[in-house]
Amino acid sequence: MFSKACKYAINAMIYIASLPKGNQRAGLKDIATAINSPEAFTAKILQSLVKDDLLNSVKGPHGGFAICGNPSEIYLAQLVESIDGNILLTGCALGLKKCSEDHPCPVHYKFKAIREHLAGMLLTTSLSDVADRVNTGISFLKH
Could you say which residues in the range 93-132 bind a copy of itself, by CB under 8 A?
93-99, 103-111, 113-114, 117-118, 121, 125, 130-131
Question: 127, 11 in Cβ contact below 8 A?
Answer: no
- Decide: is 64 part of the binding site for DNA (CB under 7 A): yes
DSSP structure string for 72-127:
GG-BHHHHHHHHH-SHHHH--SS--SS-BTTB--TTHHHHHHHHHHHHHHHHH-BH
Distance CA(136)–CA(101), nearest Å, equals 43
- Decide: is 143 part of the binding site for a copy of itself (CB under 8 A): yes
- Decide: is 44 part of the binding site for a copy of itself (CB under 8 A): no
- The least distance separating ligand SF4 from the CB of residue 53, rounded to whole angstroms, comes to 26
5 binds, among DNA, a copy of itself, ligand SF4, none (CB under 5 to 8 A by kind): DNA
Binding positions for ligand SF4, rule: CB under 6 A: 92-96, 99, 104-105, 107-108, 111
